[in-house]
Structure 1
Amino acid sequence: MIQSMTGYGKSVLQLPTKKITIEIKSLNSKSLDLNVRIPSYYKEKELDVRKKLANELIRGKVDFSIFVEMTADETSTIVNPGVVKNYIQQLKNIVETASNNELELLKMAIQMPDALKTEREELDENEWNLINQTVDEAVKEIIQYRIDEAAALEDDFRTRIANIRSYFDEVKALDNQRIEFVKERLKKAIDDLKVSVDENRFEQELIYYLEKLDINEEKVRLENHLNYFLQTLETEDSNGRKLGFIVQEMGREINTTGSKANFAPMQKAVIQMKNELEQIKEQILNIL
């Protein structure tokens, strides 16, 4: 079962004094590009979070965030009165006038460094266990999102593989006609030269030339690649890289067939195959 690398997961935990929201977003990437944003008092758990995300999401550009919203009346941030008073006195000394506005000075002082201090909140293991469960829920949600996203891509892949197979059948049907066309064209070229040729030698050279245009090996290999691609889609694991390699091999056989075609109707079918394959290549980049 394939998975898309595009996904979104969100889970919310309501605690007595705070609301905690977990968000995970992911886009396609060649490897795992993980960006984790969590409050400072949860930092000691960041490594565990990274390991969990790496094991579950495997690949993609992933943004993970923990947002904390305090819902209680109390707050961990308090005014540092000594520092604020000192700032106000310094401001008065700079502007030595009896009409100093205490409120305006207070507004300026409160914006100075260290005017506010935040008491460090110690990590509560019980609280973290609940958060960890919420992270698991968000991970499950983004994985399901990836699976749902990939389902539409899988349908598109199967449709385009069927289209390639249809154009491929046209190529095989045109092969005998192409050989006769090449023979007639060469004979006409000889006749136009109005020279006598050794028929045996001509037949030998014709066979040698036609061997170079033979596409039987390409037909067998492309058929195998098409079947292998569909088999890989049905495996339990999502392997976008493997599918990408198979697509490359399919492209190689289609390109070789096109270079050997030497027959306009066949080349048109090859171009249609290339077009379908390009659409698959673009979508494969988003498969895990």
Structure 2
Amino acid sequence: MIVTRSMTAFARHEEQTELGSLSWEIRSVNHRYLEVSFRLEESFRPFEMAMRKLISDTLSRGKVEVALRYRVPEQAQNALQMNVDLAKTVMENYQQLASFTDNAAPIDILRVMQWPGVIQTESLDQDALQATVLNSLKHALDDLVATREREGAALEQMIIQRCEQINDIAEQTKIRLPDILASHRQKLSDRIAELEVSLEPERLEQEMVLLAQKADVAEEIDRLQNHVNEVKHTLKRNEPIGRRLDFLMQELNREANTLGSKSIDTDTTRYSVDLKVLIEQMREQIQNIE
């Protein structure tokens, strides 16, 4: 299925597994390339490379922030074991040091329990845990992509609507051009009459030919409509299209500028301004397209 994706999205996914509870939050915003950052417990750092690959296989652009909260299985929490010998050693060493001063604080049992190795938990199978984490991350990414596609569908409709408006302006310009030239010819004739200047018909015709050449925007209109058609075609590509659309916006803007520079009346000037507004509206939204 061919869809347009936005780079701006958010997904939250929670999953209960045999190896624990996994809670994901993924945020993405527009970016020229794919940039991924993680907020993970240190115990999950060995899985980071595999997680990055899964994300890069799913997304092509965007600044992506991934956060994972993990809770060990309840049975593992109930299976805590204490290394009594180590706890005794820690306490004995503390008492020995405390004998060297008169201001020693009493032993904090909680601090003793937090000493590395005093409390032991059931060790989880790391390969199985990695497979579980990656599978859960895939589900979270699926949610993110679904959000990106919904946002992208709205952007696509907006772009198509603007393309239709640009086509309408191009057609109006084509229709108005003969009337514009005729009106300008009449104004020139009236001005010559007011000044009581004698001008040979051949010379007047030469001036009108030069004016028509200067005001001829047929090529610009054709290119404008070709670019609009290419935008619509690009929206149907089954691949990331953001950069290509951005390039097409530059081409459309170039033709709109040329149309404005060749304007000889207020209508074509207004058409040029309207085109630039529509193109800028598309350009701003295209920055969010993957």
- TM-score if structure 2 supplies the norm length? 0.83
Aligned to 1:161: 163
Aligned to 1:199: 201
Alignment of 1:209-228 (within 5 A): 209-228=211-230
Question: Distance in 2 between the 1:226 and 1:242 partners?
Answer: 13
Q: Is the aligned partner of 1:20 residue 2:25?
A: no
What amino acid is the match of 1:227? N
Q: Secondary structure at the match of 1:180?
A: helix
What amino acid is the match of 1:10? R
Counterpart of 1:57 (choices 44, 56, 59) is: 59
Aligned length: 280
Q: Is the aligned partner of 1:250 residue 2:252?
A: yes
Q: For residues 216-262 of structure 1, what are the alpha-carbon distances to aligned partners after superposition, in whole Å with 9 as ceiling and x for unaligned?
A: 10111111111111111122223111111112211111221122122
Question: Distance in 1 between the 2:158 and 2:233 partners?
Answer: 15
Question: Distance in 2 between the 1:64 and 1:194 partners?
Answer: 79
Counterpart of 1:149 (choices 151, 159, 184) is: 151
CA displacement at 1:181 relative to structure 2: 2.2
CA displacement at 1:115 relative to structure 2: 6.3
Q: Secondary structure at the match of 1:116?
A: coil
Question: Distance in 1 between the 2:280 and 2:214 partners?
Answer: 27
CA displacement at 1:201 relative to structure 2: 2.7
What amino acid is the match of 1:11? H
CA contact (8 A) 1:78 1:116 kept: no
Aligned to 2:116: 117
Question: Distance in 1 between the 2:220 and 2:202 partners?
Answer: 29
Aligned to 2:287: 285
Question: Distance in 1 between the 2:201 and 2:82 partners?
Answer: 100
Question: Distance in 2 between the 1:43 and 1:158 partners?
Answer: 44
CA displacement at 1:84 relative to structure 2: 6.7
The answer for unaligned runs of 5 or more in structure 1 is: none
- In structure 2, the CA distance between the partners of 1:218 and 1:93, relative to structure 1 (3 Å rule), is same
Aligned to 1:171: 173
CA displacement at 1:263 relative to structure 2: 1.0
* Aligned CA-pair RMSD: 3.1
CA contact (8 A) 1:34 1:62 kept: yes
- In structure 2, the CA distance between the partners of 1:122 and 1:183, relative to structure 1 (3 Å rule), is same
Aligned to 1:131: 133
CA contact (8 A) 2:11 2:26 kept: yes
CA displacement at 1:83 relative to structure 2: 5.5
CA displacement at 1:167 relative to structure 2: 2.3
Q: Percent identity?
A: 26
Aligned to 1:73: 78
Question: Distance in 2 between the 1:163 and 1:144 partners?
Answer: 29
- TM-score if structure 1 supplies the norm length? 0.83
Q: Is the aligned partner of 1:183 residue 2:182?
A: no
Tell which deviates more after alignment, 267-276 or 154-163: 267-276
Question: Distance in 1 between the 2:166 and 2:92 partners?
Answer: 78
Q: Secondary structure at the match of 1:249?
A: helix
The answer for unaligned runs of 5 or more in structure 2 is: none
